[in-house]
Amino acid sequence: MYSFEDIQRCFNGELICIGDKTLVRFDNAKPLQDANIYSICWIKDGAELETIITKSPAKTFIISRNGEIQDFPDKVIIRVDNPRLRFLQLVKALFIKPIEYAIHPTAIIHPEAQLSSTVYIGPHCVIGKCILGEHVIIQGNCYIYDDVTIGNHVNVMPNTTIGGNGFGYERNEDKEFELFPHIGGVIIEDHVDIGANTCIDRGTLGSTIIRSGTKIDNLVHVAHNVVIGKNTAVIANALIGGSTVIGDNCWIAPSVTLRDGIKIGDNSVIGIGSLVLKDIPSNETWVGSPAKKFK
């Protein structure tokens, strides 16, 4: 059972407590509709705080510092900046079991692969002649080809392929397709998350690059020689054409298609299902098919 002191440690003391601290006793984190008397809950900004708190069986709530709130005799209100962020940090600190680093016996590892001592490689993975940094998690059934470099604190979800050939062909004199040689690699920097059933192709001559802090959702296709900047989010079912460059801090919504060879500027937002056929400047929002600037 956790107490107020545990919350204080998670938040480094940066909080305001309303109510009797000794009443804080919780052993689970739940959404409001599933809470019980031993739950800790987060309430989003704009919600009817007093109504929710009064009706909920939970005793401990994390809310924003903004606005007024009454004192409840049998409840404890924890006020912080960015309550959703603080709540997820608390859940990670108290309720997520640390992973045990190991290599599953069914995994196939290239003898020249360079693996740190803090990697987890799940069942039925194939790891080629590549480099895996510290605190890397590769979930089951992933295929990591040769010439892939993965940095530190990277999480790859199941059934993902990194470093396969891209779809680059040229017709010969007989109108037959010949595959353009893919002799480049893939570079994935630190603190990147990659969702399940995602494909990231190797570069043709250079490398496909995913910069630090970027988050890629499930069912995303990243073609050869793509560069994705820092702290960008690419959401489910997005398709990124070859040699496209995406800047830092962008938001690529679900089912977006980016044609090959275009540039997406920093801090851009691409709306759901958009088809982007040309460059997008920084700090703009584009939507539609074909995508146009949203005014």
* pLDDT beyond 90 at 12: no
In order of start, what are the domains of the chain with their CATH numbers?
4-95 (3.40.1390.10), 108-293 (2.160.10.10)
SS3 253: coil
| H, E, C per residue of 190-222 | CCCEECCCCEEECCCCCEEEECCCCEECCCCEE
Each residue's pLDDT tens digit, 22-33? 999 999 999 999
Give the separation between CA 288 and CA 195, rounded to whole angstroms.
25
Mean predicted confidence (pLDDT) in 254-269: 98
Lowest mean pLDDT segment, chosen from 87-101, 136-150, 207-221, 275-289: 87-101
Residue reference for tokens 């050939």: 165
Mean predicted confidence (pLDDT) in 185-213: 97
How would you label 20-45 residue by residue, b for 16+ Cβ within 10 Å and e otherwise? eeeebebebbbebeebeebbbbbbee
- Provide the mean pLDDT of the chain: 95
What are the C-alpha distances in Å from 73 to residues 40, 54, 94, 98? 17, 11, 26, 36
Q: Which residues are catalytic?
A: 224
Each residue's pLDDT tens digit, 165-195? 999 899 999 999 999 999 999 999 999 999 9
* Helix, strand, coil content of the chain in percent (nearest 5): 10, 35, 55
AA identity, residue 134: E
pTM of this prediction exceeds 0.85 = yes
Confidence of residue 47 (pLDDT cuts 50, 70, 90): confident
